Amino acid sequence: MLTKEENDRLTGVGPGTPGGAFLRRYWIPAALSEELPAGGAPIPVRLLGEDLVLFRDETGKPGLLGIHCSHRGADLSYGRIEDGGLRCLYHGWLYDRAGRCLEQPGEPAMRWSHSGGRNSIDSPTSDAQPVLPSSFRERIRHPAYPCIEQAGIIFAYMGPGEPPLFPSYEFLRAPDRHVFATKYLSVCNYVQGNEGNFDPQHLSFLHRIFTSREDFRQAYHAGDVCPTIDPVETNFGLHLYAVRKVRGDEHFVKVRSFIMPSAGAVASRGEAGYNVNWHVPIDDEHHWRYSITFSRTSPIDAETVRRERSGMAENYRLQRNKANRYLQDREEMRTETFIGMGRNFAVHDTFATEGEGPIYDRTVEHLGYTDRGIIVMRKLMLQAIKNVESGIEPLGVAREPAHNHYPDLVAQDDVLSRDVPWRGHWKRQEEREVAGARR
């Protein structure tokens, strides 16, 4: 349970809020690369409560600007891509990716200043003096945020000063073909989406599929609905272990990672790799769930993934949504799935977290043992918000290459002998593999 003040600090994302200031210290996804094809139109983007325009200049590099022209506010997402930037359709002002105003075609080369007035006025009168050259253009600083494109995503830094180093997470350093990214709209505050990633007990209910008996994970999740939950802090956020009893002298260990400020790496099926759910605030009551699949060992066939997901979403909106009650099917609940909403986990999670309301009121909740991960995660976030207020860099923001190093960012499932300690067990596996390769 949080106080109202804590809940407001945690969930606010807009400019000028403590939570918004915290989020602005990180590189965050602004759009998928596929939304902005080379030579294509600019797109409006709402991010952290700000309305922005994302475009590629003629060199193909992405830029993120305030959507309203600095002259008189026209919508720049309708603008023309030309002459080294984005040109406003109203009076032709031209902006580059850094927000510099390159041209003001209607402004005369010289400016006029009234001898008695404080400000220059554009129409010369008898007492006006010409001032050369015009500095009007140079004085315009249009809101602009730096962008980096990686893993099929355009990331932006919306904070003050120089951006921090782009995080060197393994899934963001991987070759393009080893990563597949898409996103889904969630009509609720981003913290709700992210909390769902750190509550592994819900796998025993929300995601239960009766007919997936061949999947050992499903069997283990159903077989022990009361896992041991063990959160451990890291240099990027948190590890969360969920340990379930299985047969005899073994246990099923899931480790997942919370990545500040709002992403979760969770084990994926089959491949060596994981999925990342990155919950990116649009505003206080909406967020994008970026779903990033990472395979360490083999390229991902993007077409196959797209085919598998076709029919699931349109324009990044899930077909099953609150307006159609997620197409819940009571017959399916009897025979196939616990919740009757199909087999896709993203739908299940969206149903659960949207159901908490647009901004969940955490003053009335009743947290239990299974919420241990969420309790520690909130503590980390509230501490980071406080740090930003005190001028201290929040957890997971690196400005030195030596600190931009995250070898412990993992998410995987393992069946281990009960005498093997679960904390850091994957390190011991790696050591065994390295030792095996040396022999």
The answer to whether residue 91 forms part of the interface with ligand FES (CB under 6 A) is: yes
The answer to whether residue 93 forms part of the interface with ligand FES (CB under 6 A) is: yes
Count of residues that interact with Fe ion, criterion CB under 5 A: 1
Nearer to ligand FES among residue 8 and residue 57 (C-beta): 57
Omega of the bond leading into 261 within 30 degrees of 0 (cis): yes
Within 10 angstroms of residue 389's Cβ, the number of other Cβ atoms is 12
Specify which residues 95 forms β-bridges with: 86, 101
Nearer to ligand FES among residue 25 and residue 142 (C-beta): 142
Q: Which does 71 bind (CB under 5 to 8 A by kind): ligand FES, Fe ion, none?
A: ligand FES
Count of residues making up the chain: 439
Backbone angles phi, psi at 112, to 5 degrees: -120, 135
Nearest approach, Cβ of residue 105 and ligand FES (Å): 9
The answer to whether residue 72 forms part of the interface with ligand FES (CB under 6 A) is: yes
Question: What residues between 283 and 342 interact with ligand FES by CB under 6 A?
Answer: none
Nearer to ligand FES among residue 52 and residue 69 (C-beta): 69
Question: What residues between 51 and 70 interact with ligand FES by CB under 6 A?
Answer: 69
CB 120 within 8 A of CB 108: no
β-pairing verdict for 286-295 and 273-283: antiparallel
Q: What torsion, rounded to 10 degrees, do the Cα atoms 421, 425, 429, 430 define?
A: -140
The answer to whether residue 349 forms part of the interface with Fe ion (CB under 5 A) is: yes
Within 10 angstroms of residue 230's Cβ, the number of other Cβ atoms is 16
d(CA 259, CA 263): 5
Instruction: Give the relative orientation of helices 4-11 and 372-389 as an angle to the nearest 10 degrees.
Output: 80
The answer to whether residue 88 forms part of the interface with ligand FES (CB under 6 A) is: yes
Residue with tokens 């004085």: 139
Q: Which two tokens stand for residue 391?
A: 């001028």
Per CB under 6 A, the segment of 89-97, 172-180, 233-241, 317-325 that binds ligand FES is 89-97
Residue 239 region by backbone torsions, left for phi larger than 0, else alpha for psi between -120 and 50, else beta? beta
Nearest approach, Cβ of residue 51 and ligand FES (Å): 15
Nearer to ligand FES among residue 91 and residue 100 (C-beta): 91
Q: Which does 349 bind (CB under 5 to 8 A by kind): Fe ion, ligand FES, none?
A: Fe ion
Nearer to ligand FES among residue 69 and residue 388 (C-beta): 69
Nearer to Fe ion among residue 27 and residue 241 (C-beta): 241
Nearest approach, Cβ of residue 16 and Fe ion (Å): 33
Q: Which does 216 bind (CB under 5 to 8 A by kind): ligand FES, Fe ion, none?
A: none
Q: 138 Cβ partners below 8 Å, 6+ apart?
A: 101
* Contact residue for ligand FES among 71, 100, 173, 286 (CB under 6 A): 71
Nearer to ligand FES among residue 14 and residue 92 (C-beta): 92
d(CA 411, CA 237): 13
Positive or negative torsion for Cα 337, 342, 347, 352? negative
Binding site for ligand FES (CB under 6 A): 69, 71-74, 88, 90-93
Binding site for Fe ion (CB under 5 A): 349
